[in-house]
Amino acid sequence: MSLPILNRDVFDQVMVPTYAPAPMIPVRGEGSWLWDQQGRDYVDFAGGIAVTCLGHAHPHLIHVLTQQAQQLWHLSNWFTNEPALRLAQKLCNLTFAEKVFFANSGAEANEAALKLARKYAHDHGNGQKRDIIAFHQSFHGRTLFTVSVGGQPKYTVGFDPLPGRIIHRPYNDLAACAEVMSKACAVIVEPIIGEGGVICGEADFLRGLRALCDQHQALLIFDEVQTGVGRTGTLYAYQGLGVVPDILTTAKGLGGGFPIGAMLTTTAIARSFGIGSHGTTYGGNPLACAVAEAVLDLVSEPTLLQEVTRKHHRFVSGLQAINDRFRVFRDIRGRGLLIGAELAEPWRGHALAWMANAQIQGVLLLAAGPDVLRFAPSLIIPDDVIDEGLARLAHTFAQHLDSI
Ligand SMILES: *Cc1c(COP(=O)(O)O)cnc(C)c1O
């Protein structure tokens, strides 16, 4: 058997070492299955980090992408294009939004949101209100501004000087937030903290933030980059919470695997982004927008969204059964198909090791910090594939631990 020419060693030779990817290299995907160079199969519970919300190689997305590829790839924002207009109309019809700004990633959508909040305060006689309130453990992207707004110091070490006037408070602690609102132009919050540990925002906390923002003329920004596009069982998580933000950012699942981000807001707020005040070369790219429109059409179907909640229960029961056998988790939480399983002693700190072990048994997971296994599979993952992946996960624990 001849060895593949491209193997994991090539990564270390030619790639900037910001990542330590898995030893195997996937080459093909279909639905919730992936195959590596050696033809081994994997159940995909990672979903490209909550991105491939319709799985791999979805026939309708392939059709729309290849159709668009034969029409028009790119224009720049000196021109508008039909896919971008259609997608913006759909986002406005399906959410609180009246205006949309397209970007290429979650970080860029957040960068736009944060800049807009500062500009809006400036334009409305609140030029002294510069503070951005954010939360410990939150994640908003890796540009210098968004990484500074994120609440995880490990991501800013060595990158100083950082942008100023950013204040971090404990998540789910409304009183702590109230103390610092007087000079705030915006509060930015994930309805469920994703990357930082799958921590659900309490409804009272998120509603309380809405009231605080109203009281202090600050804008409420929901970072739904991870929770959006059906992930929690409603198209956007805010729709299941009864709290409407002023600005919402969406990316990850929006393109189903094609890079795109968007910032949604109202007409009144959007006015502060006048001609020339912000921009992007690729934002609103026809290929990305055509695919995202197809994703939205499929994901906004009520039956698909109901299924997400049903699959949540199946997934969580499966994890509970694993826990009954091995006592590896101290908490299983999340909403829809964004699920976290927090490791119990003595496995705390070892999420990456369990991910690697699971991979060897043919199931791909994510971590959310050192203590939490995270699951963000396709929203249309079939029940039998959920069961197969969980069986492989159970087998992973059985290889290393005695059952109780
Ligand atoms: C992933 C993520 C981002 C960053 O998105 P990128 O596309 O990686 O820039 C921002 N916010 C949240 C909540 C995320 O999960």
> What pLDDT does 277 receive?
97
Spans of the chain, pLDDT less than 50: none
Does the active-site annotation cover 252?
Answer: yes
> What pLDDT does 402 receive?
82
CA of 15 to the centre of ligand 1 (A): 22
Per the confidence metrics, is the pTM higher than 0.85?
Answer: yes
> What pLDDT does 3 receive?
60
Other beta carbons less than 10 A from residue 289's beta carbon:
26
What pLDDT digit, counting tens, does each position of 321-348 carry?
999 999 999 999 999 999 999 999 999 9
> What pLDDT does 216 receive?
98
Q: Is the CB of 105 under 6 A from ligand 1?
A: yes
Closest CA to 104 of 265, 283, 292: 283
> What pLDDT does 4 receive?
61
Candidate list 135, 139, 205, 273, residue with the active-site label: 139
Does the active-site annotation cover 139?
Answer: yes
Q: What are phi and psi of 175, to 5 degrees?
A: -60, -40
> Side-chain half-sphere of 70: how many Cα atoms within 13 Å?
5
CA of 259 to the centre of ligand 1 (A): 12
Q: Is the CB of 141 under 6 A from ligand 1?
A: yes
Does the active-site annotation cover 223?
Answer: yes
**Closest ligand 1 atom number to CA of residue 251:** 7
Cα–Cα distance, 41 to 34 (Å, whole number) = 6
Which H helix or E strand runs over 187? strand 184-189
CA of 284 to the centre of ligand 1 (A): 18
Strand-by-strand arrangement of the 372-375 sheet: 329-335, 338-343, 372-375, 366-367
> What pLDDT does 404 receive?
73
CA-to-CA dists, residue 173 to 135, 177, 209, 338, angstroms: 9, 7, 10, 22
